[in-house]
Amino acid sequence: MFFRFFSYSLKQLVRMRWLVGWNFLFPLVLASAFYLGFGNMIKDDPNRLDTIEVAYVAGDGINSNFLSVINELSKETEDHNKILDITSFDSLDEAKDALNKNNIDGIYYQHDDTIEVIVSENGLNSTSLSQIVKSYQNYQASFEKILSEKPEEINTLMANMESNQSFIKKHDFNTGVSQYMQFFYALLAMSSLFGSWISTAIMTNLCANLSESGKRFEIAPGHKLKAIFAGILAGTILQALSNAVVICYVEYVLGLHWGAPICMVIAITILASALGISVGTLIGSIFKNQLALSMVPLAFTMTCSFFSGLMMGGIQQIIQNFCPLLNKINPATVFTDSLYQLACYGKTSAYYEDLCIMVLMIGLCLAISVLILRRRNYDSI
Amino acid sequence: MTVFKATLLSLRSFLSTIIIYFLIFAIFAIVRAKVSYNTTADLYKDTSLDVAVLDLDNSQLSNALIDYLDSSQKITKLDSNNEDINYQAINDNIRFEIYDYAIIIPTDFSEAIISGDYQDKLEYLASANSASGYLISEKINTFLSDVKTYLDCGYSEEDAIKISLEQVEKTDIVDTKIYSNDSYNSVTNNASISYSFVFSAYSCLMILTVCIASVLGFLKNKDSKDRISVSGKSFASRNNELILAVFLIGLGITLCFFIYSAILGRKQPDFHMLLFYGINEFFLMLLGLGIAYFICSITSNTNLINMLSNMIVLSLSFLCGVFVPSEFMSEAVVKFSQLLPVYWFVDCCKYIEHHDFSNILSSHFFECLLIQLVYAIIFFVAGIIINKKREQYAY
């Protein structure tokens, strides 16, 4: 009997074209839009330290000390390629022309014992160019001060300057996953929560006051709870399938790596699909109006997705800092966080906590739904 | 005015949708307005980054280092009472750009510098190989190498710190100028009202398309259609009332976004450009009505209307620079997005942001409005053609 209910539910769902469109087509279209919109930011981080193209113009003779400093910075280092790429220009006008054409990021113009920095806009590159001059001026000031006050320490000073000392090291998690992948995690969360449409459609087909098939179902001698669970299983399978398609599309067609083994990502999304379906079942058991059954899941999904970072990356972290409880009760954030934890830090306690919360949410939604749906009657006396 | 009233009343069913999308806009606009800044200006200004500091040493040297960074960066001191450092939480804040850089000063930092065991004593967290990582590390290394040099040359700890602080303050002055012949750089804007208007493109279009298309779909419902057609009203009068109602709904929704954006940006330097943002928003409304009419010509099923609206509006928003600025997109994508109407709405907002009141009425401004209008007309015409064809095939 259970299998019969299950196969009928699956057939009913597959025949709803708009539902298939929502769950299969919409995430694919959105993933493509994401990829076109900021796919290049995932492959090529905009915050990355690129080599700064800079022109050096000696207005009144070359300052060999400064030139040697910037030449040192144009050599390749262990961490990254090189900080500066220097081009010498004979005149300032030529350099300005290159700046206007965006061939260079800035100009070092040395004249009257000063080094002027000319840039085209404010930003990190411009500040970095300025910082190099500040560091140079600072070393020069140290040199002059010690030479005038403690000339006997000149050897110590020279040894310090040549030691290339570093006081700071990076604490690296070596994640290798772009922060912009968070948008795709949120997309999967949204896609999973769209599963709530599937279950509201299932509920419509099972409620006598909402559809003809509901009337036929209610008078049939079949076990109601079995039918509901068969419908939930069919919906979960359909939703999980659509999520798997999106995951494979992003990984293999768009060429973006999820940061975790693909089978693991699919396994977590199966759980998220079940969560979406359970939420939909709860909505379907609470609301009895046809319009509400289509509007409430949409509003719920979009609100949860927004707070999980679908439209604004980082909003979940702002919430985490000010009201972490909100992140723990938002199913979309719990799901995106589980993927994020897995991709960035591996199977941490936070990852398992997220999975447990999802399982709890599924259980809670289904338990409440069962309580509401049992012994439902349609009299209005 | 029966049709007019019926159209307005049918909007009540979509009140929850309107509230949800408006709330999304309201929250986003507030957050975005707080984090937005502009790189284009005619005066050079050092980029100030958000730096988090966890000072476990709390010594004279560590405080001097924090004071030095505080003079040019936005410093957030993290709670140092807990001995266990939660690297993961700090890293999360770096990844989600709450901070650009985080520095951890260990308990024995000051002693280590004095004793000479200073190599890699401090730890920092920043995005992988980021420019902000390089910049702040360079600043820290410069300051600490000064202190170390003075200590090695026989100065006391107190003197070394004092001299180093004075020195970095003096040498921090570099003659830096901005040179550009780009006309967009003519106005200095550190904050702008345009951010909330740009984001309104998403929420406003979503509400307009979902609500108007659903209302029109509801009126196409056989029962409603029959009841309207048997009334004594002429065809022209019915249509005029419908157009008036739809236009009024559109205007009302757009006005809500306009007023909210105006309230939010009342202290911004370009608040006086509100009129032009309003004009741009009005053309966005026409575009929204056009898309809504196009969608409802395809289907009157509420679920399908929702699906199509989400597909069209979310995709347009991501491709046209509503969520992610077009500066971050590849050249090919930007060229493609120029074929889309929302791009011109966003471009018009940027144009208004970067121009004076007297220079705004240029050909580019009108071009942006005209393109939006043309797209609105295209959607309307496409909707009319689809409706005609559907009616033909219905018989």
ipTM: 0.80
Q: What is the CA radius of gyration of chain A?
A: 31
- Shortest distance between the Cα of B38 and any Cα of chain A, in A, equals 8
Decide if B180 is inside a domain: no
**pLDDT score for A270:** 94
Residues B139 and B285 in one domain: no
Residues of chain B with pLDDT under 70: 32-44, 82-83, 128-129, 180-192, 394-395
pLDDT tens for each residue of A353-363: 999 999 999 99
A141:B304 CB<8 A = no
Percentage above 90 pLDDT, chain A: 25
Q: Sort strands A52-58 and B50-55 into parallel, antiparallel or unpaired.
A: unpaired
pLDDT tens for each residue of B162-173: 888 888 888 877
A33:B168 CB<8 A = no
The stretches of chain B forming alpha helices (DSSP H) are: 2-10, 15-35, 60-70, 87-95, 109-115, 131-152, 157-171, 194-220, 222-229, 235-264, 274-298, 302-319, 331-337, 341-353, 363-394
* A97 at interface of B, judged by CB pairs closer than 8 A: no
Whether the pLDDT of residue A375 is over 70: the answer is no
**Residue matched to tokens 């904050």:** B191
With a CB-CB cutoff of 8 Å, which residues 152-191 of chain B face chain A? 152-154, 163, 167-168, 170-172, 174-182, 185
The token duo for A68 is 């040697």
Decide if B179 is inside a domain: no
Could you give the dihedral angle defined by the CA atoms of residues A294, A296, A299 and A300, in that order, rounded to the nearest 10 degrees? Answer: -120
- Which range of residues forms the domain containing residue B130? 50-171
Tell me if the pTM is above 0.95: no
Decide if B284 is inside a domain: yes
Give B260's contacts (C-beta < 8 A, 6+ positions apart): B22, B25, B26, B29, B196
Among the partner-chain residues A18, A175, A321, the one whose CB lies closest to the CB of B303 is: A18
Residues B332 and B373 in one domain: yes
Residues B245 and B340 in one domain: yes
Decide if B224 is inside a domain: yes
B142:A83 CB<8 A = no
Decide if B181 is inside a domain: no
Decide if B131 is inside a domain: yes
A130 CB neighbours in chain B (<8 A) are 44, 46, 174, 176
Residues B220 and B299 in one domain: yes
State the CB neighbour count (10 A cutoff) for residue A281: 30
**pLDDT score for B190:** 47
Q: State which of B171, B198, B214 marks the end of a domain.
A: B171
Residues B279 and B384 in one domain: yes
- Shortest distance between the Cα of B228 and any Cα of chain A, in A, equals 22
Residues B291 and B335 in one domain: yes
**pLDDT score for A63:** 64
Residues B268 and B217 in one domain: yes
Distance CA B76, CA B99 (A): 9
Residues B207 and B336 in one domain: yes
- Shortest distance between the Cα of B317 and any Cα of chain A, in A, equals 9
Residues B221 and B328 in one domain: yes
pLDDT tens for each residue of A228-265: 888 889 999 999 999 999 999 999 999 888 888 999 99
Average pLDDT over residues A34-45: 78
For residues B90 and B102, the answer to whether their CB atoms sit within 8 Å is yes
With a CB-CB cutoff of 8 Å, which residues 330-349 of chain B face chain A? 330, 333, 336
> Residue-wise over A34-49: b if at least 16 C-beta within 10 A, else e?
bbbbbbbbbeebebeb
How many beta-carbon contacts under 8 Å exist across A and B? 296
Residues B199 and B315 in one domain: yes
pLDDT tens for each residue of A94-129: 888 888 888 888 888 888 778 888 888 877 788 888
The residues facing A84 across adjacent strands are A52
Q: Which CATH architecture has domain A52-170?
A: 3-Layer(aba) Sandwich (3.40)
* B93 at interface of A, judged by CB pairs closer than 8 A: yes
pLDDT tens for each residue of A166-214: 788 888 777 778 888 899 999 999 999 988 888 888 888 877 777 888 8
- Shortest distance between the Cα of B269 and any Cα of chain A, in A, equals 19
Give A371: exposed, middle or buried? Use CB within 10 Å, 0-12, 13-18, 19+: exposed
Domain ranges of chain A: 2-43+177-374, 52-170
Classify A76 as helix, strand or coil: coil
Number of domains in chain B: 2
Single out the residue of A194, A160, A177 nearest to residue A302, CA to CA: A194
Report the CATH number at residue B69. Answer: 3.40.1710
Decide if B354 is inside a domain: yes
Q: State which of B114, B144, B171 marks the end of a domain.
A: B171
Cα four-point dihedral sign A176, A179, A181, A187:
positive
List, as one string, the DSSP characters of A10-35: HHHHHH-HHHHIIIIIHHHHHHHHHH
The residues facing B55 across adjacent strands are B105
Residues B75 and B32 in one domain: no
**pLDDT score for B183:** 42
For residues A240 and A269, the answer to whether their CB atoms sit within 8 Å is yes
Among the partner-chain residues B23, B41, B318, the one whose CB lies closest to the CB of A37 is: B318
The token duo for B32 is 């975005």
Decide if B275 is inside a domain: yes
The number of residues in chain A equals: 381
Mean pLDDT of chain A: 85
B14 CB neighbours in chain A (<8 A) are 295
pLDDT tens for each residue of A145-161: 888 888 887 888 777 77
Residues B13 and B72 in one domain: no
